[in-house]
């Protein structure tokens, strides 16, 4: 059995040992796009489909054909025992090196060319996973073109960021009393499900607070563990999800809310809001009052077009459907954000 080597190491060897000398034109070469290896989460299980030394090579449009020929002429059959050509299920056999013009590749991957001014609708309609696929991943050579794009996409503009934080607090506000209310009527399963939903919302909030894009569901927990928030928010969420009673579940969620609210306050991007939990009106449930924190964020947004939007958030705050996120349906999404 071939010994496991990380995808990043395989890509590095492929470029350094085989492709670098053959690519005489200006170019960039990196491990980007789909795949757990881009985010550094690949392990032995990742090797059961589509795995191997993989690269995207960016050249000028008039150099694409010549660069592809150069790659084909020196591409080895394998690197460290892993094949450079692959095929599975209905995917035809091809090789792991994709040569492209950067702008065309960006349009295909995230729906717009980030070398041009990026509109607010572009930020909101692009899943964070897709932004990670461009801004993360190992770069092995760059003539400047890729660095500039990655810097442009590194994080949201300030007003967009505030609006996304506000939208995430609003999501929490919409359901924060429900884990207790469902249990109160004997629906323990419903209470557990709601606690899990709220835990995920808090996790995604923490990514926003730390200015980090959140990956899609498979790697959300693994990436969350790398955040500073994992030290105080993580144990509280774990306690909430392991709890046997709704009161214990509420204790864990409240501790997580308060820790996240304290981190939000420490950013200093909005008027100070007491990060302590409070009763949910006259009902016997404790909540953070997510709407308070959402309103504090919204009050600091200067962009009038964003200030008038209902705080529904970006595409992956609206839906977690892979089919909704992957095709980049900008035309349909535009109706959600009138005036942007």
Q: How far is CA 314 from CA 125, 217, 245, 310, in A?
A: 6, 16, 34, 11
Residue closest to 132 by CA, chosen among 39, 204, 30, 40: 39
Residues 6+ apart with CB under 8 A from 183: 190, 191, 245, 246, 249
Averaged pLDDT for residues 288-295: 97
Output the six-digit token pair for 260.
Answer: 């996240």
Domain of 55 in residue numbering reads as: 7-152
Distance in angstroms (rounded) separating the CA atoms of residues 94 and 86? 6
**Least trusted range by pLDDT, from 31-35, 46-50, 113-117, 301-305:** 46-50
Domain co-membership, 141 together with 162: no
Distance in angstroms (rounded) separating the CA atoms of residues 240 and 253? 6
Output the six-digit token pair for 305.
Answer: 């077009």
Instruction: State which of 97, 117, 152 marks the end of a domain.
Output: 152
Give the model's pLDDT for residue 322.
78
Domain co-membership, 122 together with 175: no
Indicate whether 118 belongs to any domain. yes
Domain co-membership, 193 together with 122: no
Domain co-membership, 165 together with 313: yes
The string of pLDDT tens digits covering residues 227-258 is: 999 999 999 999 999 999 999 999 999 999 99
Output the six-digit token pair for 287.
Answer: 């909540």
Averaged pLDDT for residues 266-273: 95
Distance in angstroms (rounded) separating the CA atoms of residues 239 and 204? 18
Output the six-digit token pair for 219.
Answer: 């790697």
Give the model's pLDDT for residue 252.
98
Domain count, the chain: 2
Distance in angstroms (rounded) separating the CA atoms of residues 216 and 229? 18
Q: pTM, whole model, 2 decimals?
A: 0.94
Residues 6+ apart with CB under 8 A from 230: 206, 224
Pairing of strands 85-86, 94-95: antiparallel
- pLDDT for residue 88 is more than 60: no
Domain co-membership, 206 together with 283: yes
The tokens 């070398």 sit on which residue? 115
Torsions phi, psi for 258 (to 5 deg): -65, -40
Q: Helix 246-267 and helix 290-298: axis angle, to 10°?
A: 20
The string of pLDDT tens digits covering residues 163-203 is: 999 999 999 999 999 999 999 999 999 999 999 999 999 99
Indicate whether 110 belongs to any domain. yes
């Amino acid at each position: 059995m071939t010994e496991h080597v990380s995808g990043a190491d395989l890509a590095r060897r492929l470029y350094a040992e085989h492709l670098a000398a053959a690519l005489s034109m200006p170019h960039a070469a990196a491990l980007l796009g789909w795949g757990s290896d881009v985010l550094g989460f690949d392990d032995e299980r990742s090797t059961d489909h589509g795995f191997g030394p993989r690269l995207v090579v960016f050249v000028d449009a008039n150099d694409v054909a010549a660069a592809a020929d150069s790659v084909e002429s020196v591409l080895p059959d394998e690197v460290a025992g892993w094949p450079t050509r692959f095929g599975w299920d209905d995917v035809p056999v091809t090789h792991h090196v994709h040569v492209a013009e950067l702008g065309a590749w960006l349009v295909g991957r995230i729906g717009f060319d980030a070398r041009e001014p990026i509109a607010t609708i572009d930020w909101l309609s692009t899943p964070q996973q897709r932004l990670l696929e461009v801004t993360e991943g190992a770069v092995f050579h760059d003539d400047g073109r890729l660095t500039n794009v990655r810097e442009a996409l590194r994080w949201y503009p300030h007003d967009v960021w505030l609006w996304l934080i506000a939208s995430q607090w609003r999501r929490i506000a919409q359901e924060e009393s429900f884990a207790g209310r469902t249990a109160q009527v004997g629906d323990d399963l419903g209470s557990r499900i709601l606690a899990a939903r709220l835990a995920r919302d808090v996790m995604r909030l923490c990514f926003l607070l730390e200015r980090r894009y959140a990956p899609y569901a498979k790697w959300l927990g693994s990436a969350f563990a790398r955040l500073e928030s994992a030290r105080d928010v993580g144990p509280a969420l774990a306690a909430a999800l392991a709890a046997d009673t709704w009161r214990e579940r509420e204790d864990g969620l409240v501790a997580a809310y308060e820790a996240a609210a304290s981190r939000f306050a420490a950013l200093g991007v909005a008027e100070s809001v007491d990060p302590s939990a409070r009763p949910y009106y006259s009902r016997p449930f404790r909540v953070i009052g997510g709407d308070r924190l959402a309103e504090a964020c919204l009050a600091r947004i200067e962009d009038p077009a964003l200030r008038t939007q209902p705080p529904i958030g970006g595409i992956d705050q609206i839906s977690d459907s892979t089919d909704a996120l992957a095709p980049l349906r900008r035309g349909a999404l535009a109706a959600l954000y009138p005036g942007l």
